[in-house]
Structure 1
Amino acid sequence: MGKKVLMKGNEAIGAAAVRAKCKAFFGYPITPQTEVAAYMSKVMPKENRVFIQAESEIAAINMVYGAAGTGVRCMTSSSSPGISLKSEGISYIAAAELPCLIMNIVRGGPGLGSIQPSQSDYFQATKGGGHGDYNMPVFAPASIQEMIDLIQDAFDVADIYRTPCMVMGDGMLGQMMEPVEFKDRPQRKLPEKTWAANGLRGRKKHNIINSLYLAPEELEAHNKKLQEKFKKIKQNEVRYELYNCDKKCDLILVAYGTTSRICKNVIKMAKKEGTNIGLIRPITLWPFPVEAFEKTIDKTEYGYLSVEMSCGQMVYDVKLAANGRKPVEFYGRCGGMVPEPSDILEKVKTMIGGEK
């Protein structure tokens, strides 16, 4: 388009999905992402594409399963409790090796919690979320522009690896407005969907979409196949940002999404006081960017501080990545409360032994 337009995050999600040639959207309203469905309800029919407001989140994810099985580029969107309801379907989709996009605009929990922003779905998203041994790529944008860009990438990664992908932002990203640009992005080479259950199309046998393997030997073989795919995703699709980590740091913060933006302000505040802090910003939460810690482990004097809008979830992956070589501590707010830069800076000072 070549020019920036001011858009609300949820509407930008819809616009990005349409631009990424999403052909079908199945959803159900839940705050703070309802505007995604509202946008798609207006735009998709005009584009001669499918929009269905399902009778429930469970129905929506199973509609995605059906559409994805035919090879159609499709998606759903929800927020925390809604994703929980979709979790069985997501597991089925992962097992059946079907590409799709799942948006999660996270709200406070557990339970119905609140409609305020949170990052407390990290465990659910990165450790599978449903039953069985599986993972899915999880992208964590820090701005509406990055969310737009990652939606295109997530659709492509889904098609390349035949896997569900999640783009996970907090409620702030869904509800805030920012100037964005819809740029032409380089198209990754996508495999032909010869596996799709979309009629014979010259084949001698119908393709069958399945996740049921009653013989344990068959299910084990299928699981091993999936694990090989997950290994390739770990090798090829890790993304992260290193900010102010080129020189020796007193401490390195680890944060994703909008929390990482707050941490960049903390870094500026600390610099004025003579403290040099870096930031590791995971862009893929799964696969987790362990490589970023290998690059920075010798650059941090006092270790790492995981900053989250949760009671402490990503911090466990940070500890695994540091592997006991440097201290790892946690600072977080929960229930929809957003961390204050001054409070994070105070935590930094206690870690490095007071003001420098």
Structure 2
Amino acid sequence: MGEKVLMKGNEAIGEAAIRANCQCFFGYPITPQTEVAAYMSKKMPKIGRVFLQAESEVAAINMVYGAAGSGVRVLTSSSSPGISLKAEGISYIAGAELPCVIINIVRGGPGLGGIQPAQSDYFQATKGGAHGDFQMPVYAPASIQEMVDLVQEAFDVADMYRTPCMVMGDGMLGQMMEPVEFKEREKRELPEKDWAANGLRGRKTHNVINSLFLKPEELEQHNLKLQRKYDAIKKNEVKYELYNCDEECDLIIVAYGTTSRICKNVVKMAKENGIRLGLIRPITLWPFPVEAFEKTISKTRLGYISVEMSMGQMVEDVRLSVNGRKPVHFYGRTGGMVPHPEEILSKIKEIVGFNSEAKDEVAGGIK
């Protein structure tokens, strides 16, 4: 075991990126992720790497495009409205097949919303996030340690598949402090970046980075190529945790990030009330862990309940994974409100009292 260090989540993100050999950081301050940029501004110049505070989020993501095109590891970070501004650039990066890591420390919305933690960017992150037929891997850490591990994982996956990757945590994870250990990681066999626009380097022609295909036949072939890549990511890169799902349950909770930590306490509290609960914790939000539902569908008596800090954005993916075989319920808080274990348990007690033949697929929400 290595030495553990007490760190704020945002600062741990920066340190994890540095240790993953990130060479460039481009960003713009926005609460509650500004400490990522502040940490990188102090550390990167001291070790001969690039930190640049751009004039806007739009500028920052286009700087990421340029640096990624040269083949170096590059990071940007923002919070919800800032990610919206980066959306066009993220689509260009995906279209040009460039690796990079994007951090989203989510705050309440829509609009300027508030600076409290939320999970209401799920649709934006997992359903493409911008224009065109593309996807990107989205990681949802539940602790500062996992944030560190998944930032480093994201850089490897980005390089492996030539894709942008997002690490999405809520504002609570960005601001809280926990002990973290920077472990020696098992190294992946990563492909050479022989596509990079970094000079001739013995080649007869320059590499060109581009996402523009004016002939529809060529663009269709490019999209089919991208889809084959996304299919490989779905096959190889799904991550999830099953908690207390070994035996038959009354109900299985589905929750990610900070909410999943709250729900683990709910599982323990429910046991004291004679209610047996399980928990599926998606670690990759895309690809979504459909396999976890195949493993648990026969073990849940009354189906599933999606618990979120949103109005139920993940419910759609839960419902698609369950495919009508069991009821799917929902409980959520929104606008920066964090659900308490007692209120989640109260909702679960209400559901457990329902007839298991009930056909209403989605119940719950804000009381």
Which of the five TM-score ranges fits, normalised by the shorter chain? over 0.9
Deviations 1:57-107 (A, max 9, x none): 000000000000000100100000000000000000000000000000000
Aligned to 1:201: 201
| Match status 1:269 vs 2:280 | no
Name the CA distance, whole Å, in 1 between partners of 2:331 and 2:273: 20
Matches within 5 A, 1:154-193: 154-193=154-193
- Report the AA paired with residue 162 of structure 1: R
Aligned to 1:281: 281
Aligned to 2:306: 306
Aligned to 2:233: 233
Aligned to 2:73: 73
TM-score (norm 1): 0.99
| Match status 1:247 vs 2:247 | yes
Aligned to 2:103: 103
Aligned to 1:138: 138
- Report the AA paired with residue 101 of structure 2: L
Deviations 1:127-186 (A, max 9, x none): 011000100000000000000000110000000000000000000000000011111110
| Match status 1:29 vs 2:22 | no
Superposition deviation, residue 350 in structure 1? 1.2
Superposition deviation, residue 352 in structure 1? 1.0
Name the CA distance, whole Å, in 2 between partners of 1:187 and 1:47: 22
Deviations 1:186-232 (A, max 9, x none): 01111100000000000011000000000000000000000000000
The 3-state SS of whatever aligns with 1:146 is: helix
Aligned to 2:297: 297
Aligned to 2:321: 321
Aligned residues: 354
Superposition deviation, residue 267 in structure 1? 0.3
Superposition deviation, residue 351 in structure 1? 1.0
Name the CA distance, whole Å, in 1 between partners of 2:133 and 2:279: 31
Superposition deviation, residue 2 in structure 1? 1.3
The 3-state SS of whatever aligns with 1:252 is: strand
| Structure 1: 5+ residue stretches without partners | none
Superposition deviation, residue 301 in structure 1? 0.2
After TM superposition, what 4+ stretches of structure 1 lie above 2 angstroms from structure 2? none
The 3-state SS of whatever aligns with 1:191 is: coil
Name the CA distance, whole Å, in 2 between partners of 1:257 and 1:349: 23
Aligned to 2:128: 128
The 3-state SS of whatever aligns with 1:77 is: strand
- Report the AA paired with residue 157 of structure 1: V
Aligned to 2:342: 342
The 3-state SS of whatever aligns with 1:104 is: strand
- Report the AA paired with residue 14 of structure 1: G
Aligned to 1:115: 115
The 3-state SS of whatever aligns with 1:93 is: helix
- Report the AA paired with residue 299 of structure 2: K
- Report the AA paired with residue 132 of structure 1: G
Q: CA RMSD in A?
A: 0.7
The 3-state SS of whatever aligns with 2:44 is: helix
Aligned to 1:259: 259
Aligned to 1:40: 40
Name the CA distance, whole Å, in 2 between partners of 1:206 and 1:50: 24
Percent of residue pairs identical: 79
Superposition deviation, residue 36 in structure 1? 0.3
